[in-house]
Every structure is written in structure tokens, then in C-alpha cells.
Amino acid sequence: MSNKMWTYWADAPNEQAQSILDRGMAKRAAWDLLGAREDFDALIAYCPKYAEGYNQRAFVHFLSQNFQAALLDLDQALALSPDHVAALSGRALSLLGLNRIDEARETLQSALEMNPWLPERGMLDAGGALAPKGQDI
């Protein structure tokens, strides 16, 4: 199911947008975060209503530990595509990075309602970073 969702989200609106998306994702995978961010900036400028552009730029911000910038992009991705479970789980991780634990927990629980098999689900288990109070080890 997750692979089908990624195929859907990573299917850009046209060939030029797909080329920019693919190039940015390749740069991000190679840890060229500045180059990736530039490509995602260009993608967002070209297709401002394409949620995945914001989600991918948010991932670059997250990897750079710029959690506040990641949240801004994730909120935009979710405004455009409310069922974007990857953006929702990324939002939870960004909130965790900002030590906004209660919000992160709630956001992750919402993501798990859409996809209960997200790898981040373990964060809610006893001892996990988002375990409900009283379940910490």
C-alpha cells in the first residue's frame, strides 16, 4: 500500500515537473541538500499546487534539522493534499524535533489512522519517543 501511495504522490503533473522532482530526489539521496532544495524551490515555483513539491522540500529541511521550515512546507502539502500520510508523519517527526511532544503524538496518531503500518508507529510504544505519559521506560 505504501509503495502505491508513493507512486501516486511522486507522479508529477507533467514531464517537466517530473524531471525537476526526480532530479531533486536524486540530489537529496546523494546528500546534496542545497542542490535538492534549489530543485524543490523550482518545482514549487513551477507547480505551486503540487503537494509533493512541498513535501520533498520539507524532507530536505528536516534532514538539515530546520524543523520550523519543514513544518511550514508540510502544512502547505497537507493543505493541498489532506490525505498525504507521508507529509503527516513528517509533520509528527518535525514537531518531535521541536520538542512539541503532545502535538507530535497526536499528529502521528492521525497518520496511523490512515496507514497503521508506518515505521514510525513504534515511537508510540512504551519507551518510544512519543509514548504516552506513564509508558516511558
Amino acid 132: pLDDT: 85
Q: Nearest-CA neighbor of 116 among 8, 2, 7?
A: 2
DSSP 51-63: HHHHHHHHHHHHH
Q: Please check whether residue 31 lies inside any domain of the structure.
A: yes
Q: Please check whether residue 83 lies inside any domain of the structure.
A: yes
Q: Nearest-CA neighbor of 56 among 82, 92, 20?
A: 20
CATH number, residue 71 = 1.25.40.10
What does DSSP assign to residue 84?
-
Domain holding 53, by residue range, is: 2-116
d(CA 34, CA 117): 31
Q: Please check whether residue 75 lies inside any domain of the structure.
A: yes
Q: Nearest-CA neighbor of 48 among 79, 7, 19?
A: 79
Amino acid 83: pLDDT: 94
Q: What is the pLDDT along the chain (137 residues), one digit of tens a residue?
A: 444 444 445 679 999 999 999 999 999 999 999 999 999 999 999 999 999 999 999 999 999 999 999 999 999 999 999 999 999 999 999 999 999 999 999 999 999 999 999 999 999 999 999 998 765 44
Amino acid 72: pLDDT: 98
Q: Please check whether residue 132 lies inside any domain of the structure.
A: no
Indicate the number of domains in the chain: 1
Question: pTM value?
Answer: 0.88
Amino acid 133: pLDDT: 75
Amino acid 10: pLDDT: 67
